[in-house]
Copies of this chain bind each other. A is one copy, B any other.
C-alpha cells in the first residue's frame, strides 16, 4: 500500500517524463508510473515541504524532547465539493488541524489519503489540492505524507479525503472534555450554524439562495493565543456535526457536570437564524467548521474573551453559559422568554454529508 503514497514521488530525480490526463483513470491508483505522474504533477508542487520530500512511506515530523504527542483523524465526504466559503480541501485540512488543536497543542504535521472515482476531473482535483495547500499554509502545518487510491466509476462520489495528524502538547496543559468543572464559564468563538446552512444552500436544498458562507477555518492560532494567555483552560472543542448542543452534551457526560446556556447570549447570524426558522432547523444543532467552545474558570473568562475577540476567527466570541454540578450529564437552555429547556443530543439524521 505504499507506492502511491505522496512521499514516494522522487519528483526532482524521476527520470521519466510526466504524462498528463484530463480525468482520473484506474491506473492512477495502481501504484506504478501513472500514480507517480499524478503525484509528481499535482501533489508535489503544492504540498512540497522537507518532510514530504524524503521519499518514504513514513514521514518524520518535528521532534520535541518534552511534552506529549496526540493524534486525530477524520474522513471528509461533503457534498457538494465546493460551497460558499470553502471546499472539501479546506475542510479536510481544517477539520484535522482543529481536532488536534483542541488538545491545546501545536499540530506538527498532517497526512492525507485520497479515494478518487474513475473519471473524476483532474482540474477539479488540482483545485482541491491547491485549496488544501493554501489552508495548510494558513495553519502553518505541513502535509507530510499521503496516499491515493482509485475506484471504478459509480463506486465513489468523485473524491473522499481522509486526513490525520499529530500534535505536540506541552506538559503544563491538561485540556480535555473530561475536565469541565462547576464554576467554569463557557465561551464560543463566534456565530453558530454557518457551515451547515452554507452547504445546504450550495446543494440547492433550501429552495432559496442565501449569502451565508461556511466558517470553515483552521483554529490552531486562535487556540495558541488562548493557551499563551492562560494555562488555566479546562476544555476546548469544536462543535461540528451535531452542532453546539450535541457537543456540549458530550462534554457534560464526560465531565459529569451540568451545563447551563443563556439563549440570548448565543451568537447566530440573523440570516442563518431566519433560514433555520423557516426550515425548522435549530442552529444549535447545525454543524460548524471554524468555531470552538472554551471552558475556563469564571475569573479567567473576560480575559480569554478579550484575547479571542482580538483574533481573526474569534471576533464574534461570546460568553454563553456556565458549568454547575447538576443536572449531571445534561445541558439546559435558559430561553429568551425566561423558561428553561433540556438541550438533548441530536437524534438521527439531520444534515447528511455536511463534512
Contact = CB atoms under 8 A, between A and B. Distances in A.
B74 A69 contact: no
A113 B57 CA distance: 19
A162 B250 contact: no
A28 B247 CA distance: 16
A234 interface: no
A109 B241 CA distance: 25
A326 B66 CA distance: 44
A69 B166 contact: yes
Nearest to A160: B115
A72 B95 CA distance: 18
- Please give the count of copies of this chain that the complex contains: 2
A27 B115 contact: no
A289 interface: yes
Interface stretch (A206-214, A263-271, A342-350): A342-350
Contact of A149 (B1, B75, B96): B75
B55 A72 contact: no
B71 A61 contact: yes
A124 interface: no
A5 interface: yes
A56 B103 contact: yes
B164 A329 contact: no
A75 to B, nearest CB: 4
Contacts of A347: 27, 32-34
Interface in A1-39: 1-5, 8, 10, 13-16, 25-27, 29-36
Interface in A121-154: 144-152, 154
Given A56-B102, A61-B69, 14 more contacts: A1-B289, A2-B74, A2-B99, A3-B247, A30-B351, A31-B346, A55-B177, A56-B177, A60-B70, A65-B65, A71-B109, A74-B113, A156-B156, A156-B160
> Which 5 pairs show the lowest CB-CB distances between chains A and B?
A31-B241, A32-B346, A162-B162, A164-B164, A73-B111
